[in-house]
Amino acid sequence: MTALIRGELIKTVSTRTLLGYAATGAALAIANVVIVTQASGDLVTVSDKQEAIAGLPIIVLLFGLVGAAGEYRHRTAAPAALAAGQHRALLLLARAGAYALTGLAIGALMVAVALVLGLSLLPAHPGPGLGAHDVALVAAGSLLAAALSAIMGVAVGALVRNQVAGVVGALILAFVVSPLIAVIDETAVEFTPFGAAFALAGDPQAGTLSWGGDALLLLAWTLPLLLAAVVTERHRDLA
């Protein structure tokens, strides 16, 4: 299994996709900090200030989705399974592990950028400042959300096997369906996969669950999707 993860990791980091998503993630982290701190008025509460340095797990989810679905688009899934000489379910789990590690690296980059910029701009706002514990919760939550979102992206990519359909569907769910749910019931948003990921990464959302509750909820969304992808992978033609 370790060899499979190593092989998938080498394949993942050797593509320009990783650099593209890392650069995009860093740019969007900067944009998020600037917009929240400069265009949202005074940030007077701790949760408001945490939102300014919150992570963006949707970027890492799309990274995993595009990478996993690309295995089928570029017809590398079947050769990878043959070269591995292992059960294809193990190969998919190894792929998920590799993307979790690289997604964690992208998440760490976004966290670093957000903290460097955000912590220099937030003191200009009134109200209590962010303590070390507040910052640690956002940083740790952003990293955990990044790793789980990458795994979720791999699972969805393996299920849909179409990059365009997967990305469009994910964006619609995140930026159309979730806001509509919020209109109906604001507290329900946090119980969606995107809501749990964003809440864990520091966006206050409805604030219904604790940090640990959001982590468990995101895990509860991720594992069934990964299991479904593994089961589906075992019973379909990769050619």
Q: Model confidence over 18-66: pLDDT tens digits? A: 999 999 999 999 999 999 888 877 788 888 888 889 999 999 999 999 9
pLDDT tens by residue, 93-110? 888 999 999 999 999 999
Cα torsion at 122, 128, 132, 137 (round to 10°)? -80
pTM of the model: 0.89
Which among 51, 57, 7 has a CA at the least distance from the CA of 32? 51
The pLDDT of residue 239 is above 60: no
* Cα–Cα dist 202/205, whole Å: 9
C-alpha angle with apex 110: 186 to 216, nearest 5 degrees? 45
Which among 76, 64, 81 has a CA at the least distance from the CA of 18? 64
Residue 50 lies in a domain: yes
Domain region containing 126: 2-234
- Mean pLDDT over each residue of the chain, to the nearest integer: 86
* Cα–Cα dist 15/13, whole Å: 6
The first and second tokens of residue 159, run together, are: 């299920």
Residue 239 lies in a domain: no
CA-to-CA dists, residue 17 to 13, 39, 62, 163, 191, angstroms: 8, 31, 11, 13, 30
Across 197-201, average pLDDT? 92
Residue 30 lies in a domain: yes
Q: How many domains does the chain have?
A: 1
Identify the band that residue 155 occupies on the pLDDT scale cut at 50, 70 and 90.
Answer: very high
* Cα–Cα dist 164/222, whole Å: 21
* Cα–Cα dist 132/139, whole Å: 10
